[in-house]
Amino acid sequence: MYLHIGEDTLVRTSEIIAILDKESAGFSDVLEEFLIHRKRDVVNLSKKEYKSIVITKDQVYYSPLAAGTLSKRTQKLSAHELGL
């Protein structure tokens, strides 16, 4: 299955490692260092400020959608895959 993360971008759910809220991400030195090292892999999907960070195997996306919204979408997709 795929997850729409904003601006007509779909990401395969099996490749998602983490969905992080922008606010909480700012408090982690480890995450900041990770993002610096992956800077060339960052795709900013927001026309204004981003609300969440989606980390996949190959890319890091700055999404205009809230982490809670994306999380709910993944839960709905998981339930759909299980036939619930």
pLDDT in tens, 46-79: 999 999 999 999 999 999 999 999 999 888 766 6
Q: How many CA atoms lie within 13 A of 54 on its CB side?
A: 31
pLDDT of the residue at 27: 86
d(Cα 45, Cα 77) in Å, to the nearest integer? 22
For the chain, the first-to-last Cα distance in angstroms comes to 15
**10 token code pair:** 């779909």
d(Cα 84, Cα 80) in Å, to the nearest integer? 6
Beta strands in the chain (DSSP E): 2-6, 9-12, 16-21, 42-44, 52-56, 60-63
